[in-house]
């Protein structure tokens, strides 16, 4: 059944690629980065533990003193943790009310006129919520400034200036990234970010990636979970590269495993974050069953695809984030401990 579905999707892919009303481009040059001058082990300068981190599985930087954790909680989705005084506040209720989501993820953090806005995609509602973080912390309840309806079948969405960039899955284009007006839903650009082998182009996005937008909104990175590569492309242009730290791996056996078993066993990039100057990608290169017992490394890429540094870790992390000044890296471990690392 899965094989026939993928073949059908491939036919639709070929048809949609010929649609002259929308711009479709495929992946550009593939490069193998050279080993950088900086490769070393970094050790945690601070460790944060306690009930605050129970059920936490991903972390985001809000300011130099505040982080937000995704938590598996019966009542809330997010927890704001203040590093300076070890205090925390929960927000975004879990449920189906007007200010609640069944499941949600942070797609971005913006500052407008000294007000911090956290953009959250409510996956079950197909809505993008912009949360006024300042007012939420002050009032002790979630303050939503704006709700934007998303395209159907949206997986993730990012605000790019006055537009939205959405990853849309299982629509007429199979899988695509669409840049569109949030009110009219008129698509100004459609991107099929994986090309070359069309069969792979259909199936690769099904396997997942860690997506981040450069703070200036110009570039987009996708660190592939099941493929040994990081993809970088500009959102409104045609430049698009695929970067690998070793042999470039577009192994169709991975796709075959997925179609046969519904999953693959080997994982590469599991988490990541970006800054104005770099992409920080959490790299495992191990079987999924061994991930909690494997010590990962962090690959630091420039936005033009050059490998700038490799940091080896002594802790097995499931999520990382970078401070606003780029000097500190934070990570949440599989056993729910928050670590801070000082970078050069």
Residue-averaged pLDDT of the chain: 81
Closest C-alpha to 57, from 79, 72, 47: 72
Average pLDDT score over residue span 233-242: 80
Query: Is the predicted pLDDT of residue 303 greater than 60, yes or no?
Result: yes
Q: What pLDDT does 283 receive?
A: 95
Higher pLDDT, 233 or 116: 116
Cα gap 126→97, rounded to integer Å: 14
Q: What pLDDT does 116 receive?
A: 95
- How would residue 100 be classed by pLDDT, with cut points 50, 70 and 90? confident
Share of the chain above pLDDT 90, in %: 52
Burial string for 32-65 (b: 16+ CB within 10 Å, else e) reads: ebeebeeeeebebeeebeeebbeebebbbbbeee
Q: What pLDDT does 123 receive?
A: 77
- How would residue 208 be classed by pLDDT, with cut points 50, 70 and 90? confident
Q: What pLDDT does 19 receive?
A: 34
Residue that the structure tokens 């409104």 belong to: 236
- How would residue 2 be classed by pLDDT, with cut points 50, 70 and 90? very low
Average pLDDT score over residue span 216-228: 88
Higher pLDDT, 122 or 315: 315
- How would residue 255 be classed by pLDDT, with cut points 50, 70 and 90? low
Which tens digits make up the pLDDT trace of 261-300?
666 678 889 999 999 999 999 999 999 899 999 999 999 9
Which tens digits make up the pLDDT trace of 62-80?
988 999 999 988 899 999 9
Query: Is the predicted pLDDT of residue 308 greater than 80, yes or no?
Result: yes
Residue 42 main-chain phi, psi, to 5 deg: -110, 140
- DSSP state string for 285-333: EEEGGGGGGS--EEEEEETTS-EEEEEEESS-EEEEEE-TTSSEEEEEE
Cα gap 266→289, rounded to integer Å: 9
Which tens digits make up the pLDDT trace of 10-46?
222 222 333 333 333 233 345 555 666 788 999 999 9
Q: What pLDDT does 261 receive?
A: 67
């Amino acid at each position: 059944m899965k094989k026939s579905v993928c073949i059908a999707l491939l036919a639709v892919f070929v048809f949609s690629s010929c649609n002259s009303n929308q711009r479709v481009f495929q992946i550009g040059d593939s490069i193998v980065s050279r080993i950088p001058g900086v490769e070393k082990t970094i050790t945690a300068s601070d460790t944060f533990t306690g009930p605050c981190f129970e059920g936490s599985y991903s972390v985001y930087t809000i300011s130099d003193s505040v982080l937000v954790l995704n938590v598996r909680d019966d009542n809330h989705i997010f927890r704001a943790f203040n590093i300076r005084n070890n205090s925390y506040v929960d927000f975004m209720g879990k449920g189906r009310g007007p200010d609640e989501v069944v499941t949600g993820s942070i797609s971005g953090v913006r500052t407008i006129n000294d007000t911090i806005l956290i953009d959250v995609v409510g996956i079950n509602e197909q809505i993008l919520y912009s949360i006024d973080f300042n007012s939420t912390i002050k009032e002790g309840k979630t303050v939503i400034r704006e709700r934007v309806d998303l395209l159907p079948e949206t997986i993730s969405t990012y605000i790019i200036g006055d537009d939205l960039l959405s990853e849309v899955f299982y629509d007429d284009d199979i899988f695509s990234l669409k840049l569109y007006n949030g009110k009219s839903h008129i698509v100004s650009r459609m991107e099929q970010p994986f090309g070359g082998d069309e069969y792979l182009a259909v199936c690769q996005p099904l396997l997942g990636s860690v997506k981040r937008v450069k703070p200036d909104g110009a570039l987009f990175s996708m660190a592939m979970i099941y493929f040994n590569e990081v993809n970088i492309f500009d959102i409104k242009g045609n430049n698009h590269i695929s970067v690998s730290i070793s042999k470039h791996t577009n192994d169709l056996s991975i796709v075959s495993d997925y179609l046969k078993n519904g999953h693959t066993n080997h994982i590469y990039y599991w988490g990541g974050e970006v800054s104005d100057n770099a992409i920080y990608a959490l790299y495992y290169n191990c079987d999924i069953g061994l991930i909690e017992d494997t010590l990962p490394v962090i690959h630091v890429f420039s936005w033009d695809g050059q490998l700038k540094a490799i940091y080896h870790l002594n802790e097995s992390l499931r999520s990382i984030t970078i401070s606003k000044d780029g000097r500190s890296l934070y990570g949440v471990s599989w056993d729910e401990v928050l670590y801070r690392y000082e970078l050069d």
